[in-house]
């Protein structure tokens, strides 16, 4: 996939096609958080998007681009949860069927919600099975379209609509059509949200500083940007940020993110817990650990935000109250 195929105009065109299905999630601020960082921090609350995460954007974009023949055949995807839910609901809305490949240890709430939207789940073992091979086999055997969670052109276009809405939200909030984001911190697993949203943000302000956000133990983007090539994390350690445990940047997304000048950040689980609590205290809603990673990275790199308009995308909120409380308490 040519990185030049992702541009602002194509993302804007896709947004016009699917915006009727999307929630224009709020862009929120907190006096406490702004004071802490001596800046204007804006939170795009994608935990309030349909299916509880930004992943619905990419899923809706990808399925909306299919032909009628492909719609009849159905789709298949692999995901630890949020892409799964996005594909399941987008398939339902487009009147097609979805088969989802999920790890056996995926959070129960994500499994339950995926089933609720009508998808059929095929479970696999993270330590033994290759989910991509399973997906390719099902796509071949059942003539389904395989929609990868980040290395997919149409998914990236959809994820870019988050930043597009955020810019519109900012200008409406400030009653100033010239307002821009000076920096953005974007949670990163395979890099699809970063690739789409980074392209939009750079098109709007070429000087915008862009950062990926990952947990310390799964910081493949941070290391890849330093090495200037895709780096693979060889880890069996699973932490609280389950949605971000992808070992290597996407083959399609990484060149786009390099072109847009991303730099990598990572944060500890202790910082993630603090970020989750700050979000609850200031906005009175839950975000999952992966959804709080961008704020966690800012907590460990406070000077990045000083005197700037900073965008943080709260990427998801798919966690049950018991699990949330256990994570916050360190259990």
- Domain end, chosen from 146, 167, 193, is at 146
In a shared domain, residues 158 and 296: yes
In a shared domain, residues 290 and 157: yes
In a shared domain, residues 76 and 156: no
In a shared domain, residues 184 and 286: yes
In a shared domain, residues 160 and 138: no
* Three-state DSSP class for residue 106: coil
In a shared domain, residues 60 and 78: yes
What range does the domain containing 222 cover? Answer: 3-54+152-328
- Domain end, chosen from 146, 170, 203, is at 146
d(CA 16, CA 9): 11
CB 260 within 8 A of CB 202: yes
| Concatenated DSSP letters of 213-271 | EEEGGG-HHHHHHHHTS----------S-GGG--SS--TTHHHHHHHTT-EEEEE-HHH
In a shared domain, residues 170 and 135: no
Task: Specify burial of residue 214 (Cβ count, 10 A radius: 0-12, 13-18, 19+).
Answer: buried
Q: Estimate the crossing angle of helix 55-64 against helix 82-93, to 10 degrees.
A: 40
What is the pLDDT at residue 3? 47
Rg (CA), the chain: 18
In the predicted model, residues of the chain with pLDDT beneath 70 are 1-4
Specify the number of domains making up the chain.
2
In a shared domain, residues 41 and 88: no
In a shared domain, residues 168 and 284: yes
In a shared domain, residues 186 and 134: no
d(CA 9, CA 24): 19
Q: What pTM was computed for the model?
A: 0.94
CB 295 within 8 A of CB 273: no
In a shared domain, residues 69 and 156: no
Q: What is the pLDDT of residues 189-205, one digit of tens each?
A: 999 999 999 999 999 99
CATH number at residue 195: 3.40.50.1100
In a shared domain, residues 193 and 297: yes
- Domain end, chosen from 98, 125, 146, is at 146
What is the pLDDT at residue 1? 43
Q: What is the 3-state secondary structure (H, E, C) of 226-237?
A: HHCCCCCCCCCC
């Amino acid at each position: 996939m040519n990185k030049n195929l992702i541009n602002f105009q194509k993302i804007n065109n896709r947004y016009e096609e699917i915006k009727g299905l999307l929630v224009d999630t709020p862009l929120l601020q907190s006096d406490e958080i702004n004071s802490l960082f001596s800046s204007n921090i804006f939170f795009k609350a994608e935990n309030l998007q349909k299916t509880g995460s930004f992943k619905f954007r990419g899923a809706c974009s990808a399925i909306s681009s299919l032909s009628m023949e492909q719609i009849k055949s159905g789709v298949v995807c692999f995901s630890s949860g949020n892409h799964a839910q996005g594909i399941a609901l987008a398939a339902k809305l487009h009147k097609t069927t979805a088969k989802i490949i999920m790890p056996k240890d995926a959070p129960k709430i994500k499994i339950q919600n995926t089933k609720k939207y009508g998808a059929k789940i095929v479970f696999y073992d993270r330590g033994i099975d290759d989910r991509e091979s399973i997906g390719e086999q099902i796509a071949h055997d059942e003539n389904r379209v395989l929609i990868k969670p980040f290395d997919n052109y149409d998914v990236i276009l959809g994820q870019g609509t988050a930043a597009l809405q955020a810019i519109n939200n900012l200008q409406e909030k400030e009653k100033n059509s010239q307002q821009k984001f000076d920096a953005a911190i974007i949670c990163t697993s395979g890099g699809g949200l970063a690739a789409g949203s980074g392209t939009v943000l750079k098109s709007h302000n070429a000087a915008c500083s862009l950062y990926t956000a990952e947990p310390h133990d799964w910081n493949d983007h941070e290391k890849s940007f330093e090495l200037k090539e895709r780096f693979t994390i060889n880890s069996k350690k699973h932490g609280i940020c389950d949605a971000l445990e992808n070992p290597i940047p996407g083959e399609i997304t990484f060149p786009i993110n390099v072109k847009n000048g991303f730099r990598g950040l990572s944060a500890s689980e202790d910082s993630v817990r603090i970020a989750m609590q700050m979000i609850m205290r200031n906005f009175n809603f839950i975000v999952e650990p992966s959804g709080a990673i961008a704020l966690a990275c800012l907590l460990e790199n406070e000077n990045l935000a000083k005197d700037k308009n900073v965008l943080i995308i709260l990427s998801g909120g798919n966690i049950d109250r018991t699990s949330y409380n256990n994570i916050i308490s360190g259990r």
